[in-house]
Amino acid sequence: MLLLCSLSCLWPLAALAADVQATLDRSRVELGETVTLNLRADGDAMANTPDLSALSRDFAVLGSSSNTSISIVNGRRTAQLTVGVALRPLHAGTLHIPALSFAGGTTAPVNLEVVPPDAGAETAGRKDVFLEATIDPASAYVGQQMVYTVRLFFATDLTSGALEDPQVTGIDFRRLGNEINYQAERGGRRYNVIERRYAATPQREGHLRIPSVAFQGESVNMAGSDAFFGNGTPISAASPTVDIDVRPAPAQVGQGAWLPARELSLTLDGGPAHGDLHVGEPLNLVMNLQATGLPYEALPSLSLPSLDGATVYPDKPVNGTRVDGQWLVGRRQQSFAVVPNRAGTFTIPETTLTWWNLAENHAETARVPARTFTVLPTAGGPAPSSSSAPQAAAAPLASTATQEPVVAVAGTPWRVLALISLGLWVLSVLAWLAWRWRERQRGSTPVTRTEPAGASAARLRAAFLLEARGNDAAKQASALLSWAKAERPALQNLGELARALSASPQREAIDALQRKQYAGAEDAALGDRLATVFKDGFAWQPAPGSSDASPLPPLYPFNLRR
C-alpha cells in the first residue's frame, strides 16, 4: 500500500516533466525587434522563471510574465502554466536557445534567425512602426558637439510605448529640448512622427558606433473586436546603428584648453560708478564667457590676476547651459570687487583665450584689452602728504620765535591727518561691507549649486505637479521621469517606471499619459489625475532582494486585467 501511494504521488511529476516545451512567437526577426520565448507545462504546476544566464551572450532578457489557463471539457479539467520571457537579440545570425530546466522537466533547444534591419523607404512604408537615426556631422573633433536625431514613425494606434535614450561609452548625450511631433510620408504612406534630438559629444578619438535604440509599445486595431476591451498587441522597432569618426585636436592648438565651438565671446564690463575712483572704493567688474556648442563644464574658470595697488575679491560664479535650437550654449559669469589700496594708478592686464572656430576650422583668440584706472585719494581727505612736507620743513626758516612753538606747529597737523585717515579707512571698509551685503541680497541670476538628493527630488516633484496642471503630454512625461530618476537613477523611461510601481492608479495614469503622448488620445482630466495620484510621491515596489520581489520586471505578452 505504501509503495502504491508513493507511485501515485510521483505520477503527476512524471507527466509534468514529459509535457514541458519551449516555443518562440516568431522564428525570424530583424535585429532590434523583440521575440517572446514561451515555456509551457501542463498540469497544476507552480514554477519560477528558469535560469536564463546561458542566453546572455546572444540575448538581452527584458522581462517575464506568467499565466495559468484552466479549461473544462466534458467534465474533464485541464490546466496549463505558461511563462513568457521577452528577449532582444544582440546580433544578427542564427541564434541558439539551449535546453532549459523548467517545472521539473527539460525543454528542447530552439533556433532563431535574426536578420539585419532594413531601413529603406520602400520597406519602411510597409511597416506600422519603425525608427530612423541620423548624426550631424558624421565626422567631428573630440569634444565637438554633434546632433543625434531619432525619429519614431507610426501608422497605427499606439496604446502605450517607451523609447530608449542612447547610451554609449565615450559619448556624452544630452536631450535638446522637448520632443517634436509632426507627420511625414515614407514609401507612399502617411506616418505620425515623434522626433528627439540629442547633443552628442565624443570624449575620445577614434571610430565610434552608436548602437540601435529600441521602441517597445502596444498597438490596438480600433476596428477589431478586442479594441473595446483595450487588448493590445506588442509592437517594437529599432533604429539603425550610426558610425562616427572622431578626430584628435589639431596639433597647432598647443597646451592650452581645447575649446571647439561655433561661437565664443569673452568680455569684462564695469567701471567707476561716478567717473572717479578713490582709495577704498570698490570697483565692480563682471567677466562673461559664452560658447555655442559647448556646455559650461567644458569652459575654463574665470579669474583676475593679483594687481599692484588694488585687492581683488571674487564673488560666487554664475554658471549654466541652455539650449538654443540644436546647440548647447554654455556660460560662465564671474563678478569681482576690486578695491584700490593707494592713490595713483593700477592696471588690469590683457586677458586672452584661444579657441577653435568650427565654422571656419581654424584657431582664434578672444581678447579683453588691458585697462588702466586712476585712483584719487579718499574723497574729502586732505591734500597729498608730499605737498605738506615742504611746508613743515620751511616753518623753522620763516619763524624767529623759540623752538617750542615750532615743534607744536609741525606736530599737530600730522597727528590730525593720521586720525582723519584712520577714520576714513574705517568708513571705507564699512561702506564696502554694506555694498557686498546689497549685492548678495540682489542676486537676480540663480547660482549653480550641487543640491542634496532630497532637495533635488523635492524640486523636481514640485516642477512635475506644476506641469501636470498643463496639457502638454511630452512635458508632463519628461517632468515625471526626471522626478523619478532623482529617486531611482537607473530608470530609463516611463515603461520602466510603471513596472517599478506597486500602486495600480499610478501605473494606469502613466499608461494614459503614454496613450496621450504617442497615440494622441484626448483626456482633458489627465492633468488633474496625474497630480492626484502622484501628490504623495511614488509607491515603489519592494527593492530587489526582498522576499516578495520578483527577479525580473513583468512584461507582455500577457495582459492580465480584471
- In Å, how far are 19, 81, 104 from 23, measured between CA atoms? 13, 14, 17
The average pLDDT across 82-86 equals 86
| DSSP for residue 225 | G
The average pLDDT across 34-43 equals 82
Does the structure show a pLDDT above 50 at 396?
Answer: no
N- to C-terminal Cα separation, the chain: 46
The average pLDDT across 151-178 equals 91
- Whether residue 542 has a cis bond before it, omega within 30° of 0: no
pLDDT (0 to 100) of residue 123: 56
Same domain, 238 and 139: yes
Are the C-beta atoms of 199 and 147 separated by less than 8 Å?
yes
Q: Which residues pair with 216 in a beta bridge?
A: 162, 236
Are the C-beta atoms of 34 and 234 separated by less than 8 Å?
yes
Cell of 87: 528577449
Q: In terms of residue numbers, what domain contains 33?
A: 11-115
- In Å, how far are 204, 209, 257, 335 from 245, measured between CA atoms? 10, 9, 22, 40
Binned at pLDDT 50, 70 and 90, residue 524 comes out as confident
Which of 100, 372, 132 lies closest to 239 in space, CA to CA? 132
Residue 308 sits in a domain of what CATH number? 2.60.40
Rounded CA separation 51/343 (Å): 82
**End-of-domain residue from the set 381, 406, 422:** 381
**End-of-domain residue from the set 347, 381, 415:** 381
pLDDT (0 to 100) of residue 452: 56
- In Å, how far are 64, 156, 532 from 547, measured between CA atoms? 18, 41, 30
Cell of 83: 511563462
pLDDT (0 to 100) of residue 352: 94
Same domain, 272 and 369: yes
Q: Give the pLDDT confidence of 94-145 residue by residue, as tens digits.
A: 999 999 988 888 899 999 998 886 555 555 557 889 999 999 999 999 999 9
Binned at pLDDT 50, 70 and 90, residue 417 comes out as low
Q: Give the pLDDT confidence of 325-374 residue by residue, as tens digits.
A: 899 999 999 999 999 999 999 999 999 999 999 999 999 999 999 999 99
pLDDT (0 to 100) of residue 32: 64
In a domain, 408, yes or no: no
* CB contact set of 298 (below 8 Å; sequence gap of 6+): 143, 259, 291, 330
The average pLDDT across 277-298 equals 93
Higher local confidence (pLDDT), 269 or 65:
269
pLDDT (0 to 100) of residue 512: 85
Are the C-beta atoms of 44 and 71 separated by less than 8 Å?
no
Q: Let me know how long the chain is.
A: 562
In a domain, 443, yes or no: no
Rounded CA separation 384/417 (Å): 10
Binned at pLDDT 50, 70 and 90, residue 513 comes out as confident
In a domain, 193, yes or no: yes
In a domain, 413, yes or no: no
Q: Give the pLDDT confidence of 297-334 residue by residue, as tens digits.
A: 999 999 999 999 999 999 999 999 999 989 999 999 99
Same domain, 297 and 364: yes
- Type of residue numbered 171: I
Same domain, 130 and 242: yes
pLDDT (0 to 100) of residue 206: 94
Does the structure show a pLDDT above 60 at 9?
Answer: no
Same domain, 198 and 307: no
Write down the pTM of the prediction.
0.52
Binned at pLDDT 50, 70 and 90, residue 50 comes out as confident
The count of domains in the chain is 4
Which of 290, 518, 279 lies closest to 382 in space, CA to CA? 279
Same domain, 127 and 110: no
Binned at pLDDT 50, 70 and 90, residue 74 comes out as low
Higher local confidence (pLDDT), 247 or 69:
247
* CB contact set of 291 (below 8 Å; sequence gap of 6+): 259, 261, 263, 264, 265, 298, 299, 329, 330, 331, 355
**End-of-domain residue from the set 197, 214, 247:** 247
Q: Give the pLDDT confidence of 451-492 residue by residue, as tens digits.
A: 555 667 888 888 898 888 888 888 888 899 999 999 988 887
The average pLDDT across 214-241 equals 75
In a domain, 415, yes or no: no
Does the structure show a pLDDT above 80 at 284?
Answer: yes
Rounded CA separation 426/517 (Å): 64
Rounded CA separation 39/20 (Å): 7
Which stretch of DSSP H or E encloses residue 352?
Answer: strand 351-357
Q: Give the pLDDT confidence of 195-219 residue by residue, as tens digits.
A: 999 999 999 999 999 999 999 988 8
Cell of 339: 578695491
